[in-house]
Structure 1
Amino acid sequence: MRDQRILQMARQLVHHSISVQKGEHVLIDVFGGGRDLARALIAEIYQVGAYPHFNLNDQSLLRAQLLNMTAEHMDRMAHFDYERMKKMDCYIGIRGSFNINELADVPADKMKLYSENYGNLVHTHRVNHTRWVIMRWPDPSMAQLAKMSTEAFEDFYFNVCTVDYQRMEKAMQPLVDRMNRTDEVRIKGPGTDLTFSIKGIPAIKCAGECNIPDGEVYTAPVRESVNGVLTYNTSTIYQGTTFDSIRFEFENGKIIKATSNNSQRLNEILDTDEGARYIGEFAIGVNPDIHHPMNDTLFDEKINGSFHFTPGRAYEEANNGNKSAIHWDIVNIQRPDYGGGEMYFDGELVRKDGMFVSEDLLALNPENLKA
């Protein structure tokens, strides 16, 4: 019998996350596993009276393709998928991977070609012109990243993906209001002393609409307002390469110095284009059931007590004008077990050691979101 949790997730995605309406066209984009969920989604979309479309992706075949990709070939491939995306009203991305490092040995110039041409064209349209949701699928490789058995990870996965998002959305509103009133943000912690302005840039709450799992409120810094130093205390995988101990120095918004365990590859990514060295997103993570990183962005950026500070492209809803082929969510956790830290809005301490301390924000602390 099909796992009832999969059917529940399909209903949540179709009815809550993207609110599919009769007569609409929905693209289901599958990477790795997730075929059971795709089948459930197809049935649920038909129940609504809408039209499901699907696409199966294989990272090992993408790697083989990219190794000898030419600009003309990439342009043709991107425009083919762009034309299909233009005909879609909704998009569901199921992101699994049998090998998270499948693209690690693709040369930097080929990855740049892919990011600039395919990503900018196809997925920029998807983000700005469809109702979309992206989620991970609990393949065994994800269980390995989480250092858990496959069965235990599946239980964890469904718990964090099906939290009470309506409760979370209500609790987020005071934080949205606070951020919309705030000019200067200061973040302090081990190896970190960072200041920037978010004045005039909207704060957006994310409670199960665009990402599953979800649980963040995001905005963007005023593009040239970022100054100081930021040391991330989680690892991150980007374009198939694992990075640790990333440290950025900022001057007037720009990353002027970047180091990590692989500083050469880090700087190659940051040199993709001009916007890659500026920040396109600042977000605060609040999912009450995600506590530790597992080198998967959709999970790690929602960790309670965390924030992420993202080199590259800004979202249209919270736009600071930064454009880039890159959008790289890198996470810092401020709970005591990760070294602690403080976050200030216009000089007022609003979060200490990963816990909100101002009265209007206490509902976002894990014990209250789970109550």
Structure 2
Amino acid sequence: MDPRIREHARIIANHSVSLQEGDDVVVDAHPVAEDLVVALHEEIGEVGANPIRTSQRTGKRAHRAFLRASDGEFETPDHELALIEETDVYIAIRATDNVTQTSDVSPETSSAHRQAHGPILDERLSTRWCLTQFPAPANAQLAEMSTEGYENFVWDAVNKEWDDQREFQANMVEILDPADEIRIVSGEHTDVTMSLADNPTINDHGEHNLPGGEVFTAPVPDSVEGEVLFDMPLYHQGREITDVSLEFEAGEVVAHSAAKNEELLTEVLNTDDGARRLGELGIGMNRDIDRFTYNMLFDEKMGDTVHMAVGRAYEDTVGEGNERNDSAVHVDMIVDMSEDSRIEVDGEVVQEDGTFVFEN
């Protein structure tokens, strides 16, 4: 086994979820990630925890078959919810043998299935959880990389000194935490403002998401004003959506467009009322992620980027007494901030063309 796989498992167990004796652990992974699953079971065994393996959230043939055969109406599966309710640690490993496996499932069916699983997602987020990536060949192909090149990319981004990354990102947390308003400007088509008042900023240094490498918070839902062109592609439900443009008034998307698969974007925004409002603003700060790979777990962490998510806001990014945007979806989209771009916080420029003020 590649020693980097065991290092990956060690970081998950010790840094991301802090495994403890007696923990009941769910490892959710596609069979293509078998080596990482085995290495994790070694870590789980050494600490005296109790593992169970599932494959509930991966885009495999059985999941596609179920969705295509269904009538498009779903109820929350009580037995799956019961499993997560009894779980202390939930580890999800992204990897697949076909990244477009669910591309011929209708957006309406996928949306209905996500809504029915909303309570399960809520329960997962109440555990000690981690979402990570195994560098499978299909994911390398989507990233337009060789398998070996993609393995190097993934493990360079994952197997690093996370305490150093935390300290670097803490500079941005100190700027955003007391802020009232942030403005994002990029090129001719992105100029958007939003209030962050009293919402905490989270320093993501490889705990829930591995790799980490961002700071993120939630906008006050009705405060978002302006227009955003997300000039990096979005890969959603096995399909690419490009050049997404959203126009906000009083926090709500009032106009939208996309150069490719606009109908899928429309379906996302029509999921529920919360899907037309922002649930997250994040700033990418992981310099080891230096290229776009059609994988939001990595792409949103790239240095010189900002991402915004329509839909659900995470509870720990919403201050006491503030409104939390709720939705069955959480869909991230990315703006390139490397050129002709700036971030202003309470009227002060804190990043220009990808360079933070504390890097000068």
Q: What is the TM-score normalised by the length of structure 1?
A: 0.92
Q: Which residue of 2 aligns with 1:42?
A: 41
Q: Which residue of 1 aligns with 2:289?
A: 290
Provide the rounded CA distance (Å) in 1 between the counterparts of 2:69 and 2:253. Answer: 32
One-letter code aligned to 2:147: T
Structure 1 outlier segments of 4+, above 6 Å? none
Equivalent residues of 2:277, 2:311 under 8 A apart: yes
Which SS does the other structure have where 2:275 is aligned? helix
Q: Which residue of 2 aligns with 1:169?
A: 166
Provide the rounded CA distance (Å) in 2 between the counterparts of 1:69 and 1:264. Answer: 21
- Which of 233, 236, 240 in structure 2 is aligned with 1:235? 233
Shift, 1:32, TM fit: 5.1
Provide the rounded CA distance (Å) in 1 between the counterparts of 2:337 and 2:246. Answer: 17
One-letter code aligned to 1:285: G
Q: 1:87-166 residue pairs with structure 2 within 5 A? A: 87-118=86-117, 120-127=118-125, 129-166=126-163
Shift, 1:292, TM fit: 2.0
Q: Which residue of 1 aligns with 2:351?
A: 351
Shift, 1:213, TM fit: 1.3
Provide the rounded CA distance (Å) in 2 between the counterparts of 1:271 and 1:245. Answer: 19
- Kindly indicate whether residue 56 of structure 2 is the aligned counterpart of residue 60 of structure 1: no
Q: Deviations over 1:29-75 (max 9, x none)?
A: 00352110101101111101111111135522111101122467x32
Aligned-residue sequence identity (percent) comes to: 35
Q: 1:297-316 residue pairs with structure 2 within 5 A? A: 297-316=296-315
Provide the rounded CA distance (Å) in 1 between the counterparts of 2:223 and 2:160. Answer: 35
Q: Which residue of 2 aligns with 1:221?
A: 219
Q: Which residue of 2 aligns with 1:328?
A: 331
Equivalent residues of 2:194, 2:220 under 8 A apart: yes
Which SS does the other structure have where 2:165 is aligned? helix
Provide the rounded CA distance (Å) in 2 between the counterparts of 1:32 and 1:268. Answer: 30
Q: Which residue of 1 aligns with 2:79?
A: 80
Which SS does the other structure have where 1:329 is aligned? strand
One-letter code aligned to 2:148: E
Shift, 1:137, TM fit: 1.4
| Aligned CA distance change for structure 1 residues 328 and 32 (closer, same or farther; 3 Å) | farther
Which SS does the other structure have where 2:200 is aligned? coil
Provide the rounded CA distance (Å) in 2 between the counterparts of 1:181 and 1:143. Answer: 40
Shift, 1:126, TM fit: 0.4
Equivalent residues of 2:311, 2:325 under 8 A apart: yes
One-letter code aligned to 1:52: P
Equivalent residues of 1:32, 1:95 under 8 A apart: no
Q: Which residue of 2 aligns with 1:185?
A: 182
Q: Deviations over 1:6-28 (max 9, x none)?
A: 11111110011000111111110
Which SS does the other structure have where 2:32 is aligned? coil
Q: 1:353-368 residue pairs with structure 2 within 5 A? A: 353-357=353-357, 361-362=358-359
Q: How many residues align?
A: 352
Q: Deviations over 1:233-289 (max 9, x none)?
A: 110111222100000000010011110022222112100100000000001111111
Equivalent residues of 1:307, 1:332 under 8 A apart: yes
Provide the rounded CA distance (Å) in 2 between the counterparts of 1:251 and 1:92. Answer: 38
Q: Deviations over 1:339-360 (max 9, x none)?
A: x310000000000111102xxx
Provide the rounded CA distance (Å) in 2 between the counterparts of 1:333 and 1:50. Answer: 42
Which SS does the other structure have where 1:186 is aligned? strand
Which SS does the other structure have where 2:55 is aligned? strand
Equivalent residues of 2:99, 2:142 under 8 A apart: no
Provide the rounded CA distance (Å) in 1 between the counterparts of 2:161 and 2:24. Answer: 28
Q: Deviations over 1:120-155 (max 9, x none)?
A: 12112101x201000111111211122211111111
Gaps of at least 5 residues in structure 2 are none
Provide the rounded CA distance (Å) in 2 between the counterparts of 1:218 and 1:243. Answer: 23
One-letter code aligned to 1:24: D
Equivalent residues of 1:22, 1:48 under 8 A apart: yes
Provide the rounded CA distance (Å) in 2 between the counterparts of 1:45 and 1:352. Answer: 44
Q: What is the TM-score normalised by the length of structure 2?
A: 0.95
